[in-house]
Amino acid sequence: MFLTTDNKMKWRLLVAATVVATVVVLGGIFWFDAPVLLFMRGFDCNFWGLLSTVFDDKVWAVVFAAAVLGFYINKSLKSKPKFRNDKNRFSLRVFLGDFWQKTKHSNVFLIFCSIMAAGVMVQVLKVVIGRTRPILFEALEFTGFYPPSFDWVFNSMPSGHTAISFAALVMIGMLAPRVKPLTWTLAVLIGVARVCVGAHWPSDVIFGAFIGMVTADLVKWYLMRVK
């Protein structure tokens, strides 16, 4: 979205989009979150729950961690892996260097890094922002921000499912442009699911989606510049 095909970042567009996203998120917090949530909750069904379960953030991380490991093993079978230093002893530094050289520009590593970067950012923001989950609003009409908090019920913003799914699927779309309409559609559906099942406010999802998109662009921009 903010990255050209020749791997140049559109910084001005990114700044403008950040301003727009901030305004929309604030609009959700002060205006449309509650009515949109209540409306979308009326469409809750097993499909949305299944979508949330299948594309859980932990599932994304495990699947692509395994994919990166498989890629490295395959590359190592073709060119011997390096585990030992000059003294012929096992060296973690040498191993990690070999792993980095063999995987840094691979598609699976780009996707994995997007997932991990978005995941770390989201977890930090959840604690710092401390927003209450919609479940408290639906049960007690209780809302607000109570930072810092490590409690799940006060970790609503931003949506981790949405951020990580957007990070992964936007990256996949950049690496395989032919499937971009499909990946973007799936990412949006995952975000919708998080509101329909009552796990997040609409603005949580919008914020998470923006984080995921930006993370994917920045990860690809940076790693493809590394030699």
Judged against a pLDDT cut of 90, whether residue 87 lies above it is answered with no
Tell me if 131 sits within 8 A of 204, measured CB to CB. yes
Mean pLDDT for the stretch of residues 51-76: 95
> Cis before residue 181, ω within 30 degrees of 0?
no
Residue written as tokens 């903010």? Answer: 2
Q: Considering the entire predicted model, what is its pTM?
A: 0.95
On the question of pLDDT at 85 being above 80, the answer is no
Q: How many angstroms separate the CA atoms of 111 and 219, rounded?
A: 9
Show Cβ contacts of residue 127 under 8 Å, excluding neighbours closer than 6 positions.
147, 148, 149, 150, 155
> Residue 43 has which token pair?
């469409």
User: In the predicted model, is pLDDT for residue 89 greater than 90?
Assistant: no
Look at residue 90 in the predicted model and tell me its pLDDT.
Answer: 78
